A and B are shown apart, each in its own frame.
Chain A
Amino acid sequence: MKRRDFLKAAGTGALVASSATTVSARENLPVPEDAVGMLYDATLCIGCRACVVKCKEINGAPPETVEGEEHWDMAQELSADTLTIIQAFNADTGPDIPNLADGTFSFSKRQCMHCVDPGCVTVCPVSAMQKHPTTGIVSHDPDVCIGCRYCVLACPYNVPKYEYDETFGQIQKCQLCNQPGVERIDNGQITGCTEVCPTGANIFGPRKELLAEAKRRAELKEGDTYTYPLQSIDSTYRYETQVKADYQQHIFGEKEGGGTQVLVVAGTPITNLGLPELPERSYAANSETVQHTIYGGMLAPAGLLAGLLYLARRNTKGDDKDE
């Protein structure tokens, strides 16, 4: 390559490299048109854990024991055997045994939030985590997963769990009861945990409708009467009762980290309920923006390589080392 040709080549390389650095930031993903999800209302939850039991039954997961002989499930946290959990929180001390004297405790249900713009999907190197294009359900495929646990690192809610105690462990997480072999949603059923909830604290439905319902509840004051649906938003089973506490205006999942398909409303500040405070811009969008700014179309690396090859060639041929 002649020097002039190189200058041309390098110039083009620099040009594509700099145009690659002006790619626009990746925005949050939009909510899928037919996104389904769940709405958890902490004011209605009585902590019966029927949902936890049903979830274990559906997922074939054993109860957790502490001494090895309890006759009931001792699960305290989400784990590879506990894909959903009901936790009790004191308003100001975090996870604790409910302190009825204070009167300021609340239950909280945790499971995969089925993020609108999920970190686990963005980071998975082998696309084992996938977000369904229409329902938005975030699924996991153990047959391709390499077990790197980057999804664990990148999930703002610490949801995916790896089975460390198994020789051939796998990642476990709630797949909204639509995993192969279960497929409740595809078959027109609702999730197990909403089906068994006796108070309607946890209901299934299209995210759009659940969000509208959450907004209606946010307007309610303690002592108002309201008709709550059981199981799902469009259910014929409904009951009228008095509202137990003033609802917070904050609907968790409307905007958090780009939004989630599992929404939470409560009578106490929701960030006291084991859920993090998150910016509206998703971490996935941050990560992809940086990654694509550097690697968009591989133009910048190609431009850099062209320059490197030229210099390396010049400096390894002819022994004209300058020092």
Chain B
Amino acid sequence: MSSHHEHQVLNRKIFTLPFIFLAALVLIAFYILAERMIFGLGAVTNLNDGYPWGIWIVYDVVIGTGFATGGWVLAMVVYIANKGKYHPLVRPALLASLFGYSLGAFSAFIDMGRYWNVYNMVLPGQININSVMLEVGLCVTAYTMILVLEFAPAVLERFKIPRLSQLLDKWLFVIIGIGVLLPTMHQSSIGSLLISAGHKVDPLWQSLSLQPFFALITAIAMGFSIVIFEASMVTVGFKRPSETHLLKGLGRLIIYLLGVYLLVRFGDLVLRGELGRAFAGDLRGNMFLLETLLFVIPLVILLSPGRRSSGAQLLIAAVSLLLAGALYRANAFMIGWHPGGGYIYFPSAKEVLLSLGFVAIEIAGYLAIVKFLPVLPKADHA
């Protein structure tokens, strides 16, 4: 990772208008957080006895960490599959992943009804190794620390601490190896979380032993898409040279992932005899069709080499796929959730505002840090 010549600090103003707008959103979120801590979960959320998990879990953790898989998939491509040409994309992706995972972990924490007991999750006498939640919780926490280490070179470079840099360089392969393993584990387990809910998850999404497979493969696809998305945003937003020549290769990888996913997904529904529900014309059936459409659009776009080389088309494919992955998770965890007993859930304004505040932290943080640390690839390099 001799990358000292690859990255640069973006020399621009930090306190721009968008930044101030985002900061306001963050303040609102912290106000709501204080309310939650003082008056309890019921004071700010619409959670109820039938819906134990609302958008703080489903959006911030389940979908949010799915959006934060860029660092993981690029580490896989660059260091495991040895495609060095993608190296310039790694650091920006790591930064986004670091934000996504830290905030996901933080959301899970504030959603805990008894957060002060959380240390029990590491007490050997207390943990339950049968629990999918234990695996997800520990693994997400560990990976967040790994992300800190993976991103550390940017900080060390900026403050010129060569001794630490060298030490980190020496052990980098261990950090990277673990950093590829951990998300493979917890991204699949996020799907496994639902197996134990049985009939409470609609048959369109209750794929039992295939849950971890679907969760993993869509997470990888989302990872590539988010890299394409972020790179495009940086190109447009900061008026920097385009990286389409790098991105179209990622687009090709997505084709394989989506092909396999759709094949197994529909094969499973046919074998279980549940495909008919997709055409029932009800909310759940229609959401399934919408989800499928969002998976198919990027496949159609990317299959053509011409479209694959167009930055705009690539971006459309990536956005569609991100929405598809997000909707798949939202459907499985919330829209396809039927606890019975007439319970309904729709997120409260405060739940939405807190989640928005967290997104604002990510964007504002990203914008500020690329102007402060060497994260983005050097313009001439790209």
CB within 8 Å of B: which residues of A? Answer: 77-80, 95, 119, 122-128, 142-150, 152-154, 156, 158, 161-171, 257, 274, 276-279, 283-284, 286-292, 294-295, 301, 304-305, 308-309, 311-317, 319, 321-323
- Residues on B with C-beta less than 8 A from A149 are 52-53, 113
- Residues on B with C-beta less than 8 A from A170 are 113-114
9-residue interface stretch from B132-140, B157-165, B288-296, B371-379: B132-140
A147-B114, A305-B181, A321-B82 in contact; A164/B128 too (CB < 8 A)?
no
- Residues on B with C-beta less than 8 A from A317 are 173
Query: Could you list 26 examples of A-B contacts with CB < 8 Å?
Result: A122-B196, A125-B133, A128-B120, A146-B117, A146-B118, A147-B112, A149-B53, A153-B53, A153-B197, A162-B52, A164-B40, A165-B40, A165-B42, A166-B42, A167-B38, A167-B39, A290-B195, A290-B209, A291-B189, A305-B177, A308-B80, A311-B79, A312-B79, A315-B82, A316-B173, A323-B85
A145/B181 in contact, CB under 8 A: no
B178 interface residue, CB < 8 Å from A?
yes
A79/B192 in contact, CB under 8 A: no
B40/A127 in contact, CB under 8 A: no
Complexed CA–CA distance, A165 and B45 (Å): 10
A288/B42 in contact, CB under 8 A: no
Q: Which of B38-81 contact A (CB under 8 A)?
A: 38-43, 45, 47-50, 52-53, 78-80
- Give the A-B contact count at a CB cut-off of 8 A: 225
B306 interface residue, CB < 8 Å from A?
no
CB within 8 Å of A: which residues of B? Answer: 1-2, 37-43, 45, 47-50, 52-53, 78-80, 82-85, 87, 108, 111-115, 117-118, 120-121, 123, 126-135, 137, 172-174, 176-178, 180-181, 184-185, 188-189, 192-193, 195-200, 208-209, 211-212, 339-342
Return the chain A residue nearest B195 by Cβ. A287
Distance to closest chain B CB from A61 (angstroms)? 14
A308/B177 in contact, CB under 8 A: yes
B127/A126 in contact, CB under 8 A: yes
Q: Is the interface of B mostly helix, strand, loop or mixed?
A: helix
A278/B47 in contact, CB under 8 A: no
Return the chain A residue nearest B75 by Cβ. A312
A294/B188 in contact, CB under 8 A: yes
Q: Of the candidates A125, A126, A164, which one forms a contact with B45 in the assembled complex, judged by CB atoms under 8 Å apart?
A: A164
B117/A158 in contact, CB under 8 A: no
Return the chain B residue nearest A164 by Cβ. B42
Distance to closest chain A CB from B218 (angstroms)? 17
A124-B128, A153-B52 in contact; A316/B117 too (CB < 8 A)?
no
B185/A301 in contact, CB under 8 A: yes
Complexed CA–CA distance, A162 and B112 (Å): 11
Return the chain A residue nearest B108 by Cβ. A148
Complexed CA–CA distance, A314 and B85 (Å): 16
Taking A168-B40, A288-B130, A309-B173 as given, write out 8 further A-B residue pairs in contact, using a Cβ cutoff of 8 Å, ordered by the A residue number: A79-B49, A125-B137, A126-B128, A149-B52, A169-B42, A284-B130, A304-B181, A312-B172
Distance to closest chain B CB from A254 (angstroms)? 18
- Residues on A with C-beta less than 8 A from B211 are 290
Return the chain B residue nearest A161 by Cβ. B49
- Residues on B with C-beta less than 8 A from A288 are 130
Distance to closest chain B CB from A70 (angstroms)? 21
Complexed CA–CA distance, A165 and B41 (Å): 7
Return the chain B residue nearest A293 by Cβ. B209
A124/B178 in contact, CB under 8 A: no
- Residues on A with C-beta less than 8 A from B123 are 126
- Residues on A with C-beta less than 8 A from B130 are 122-123, 284, 287-288, 291-292
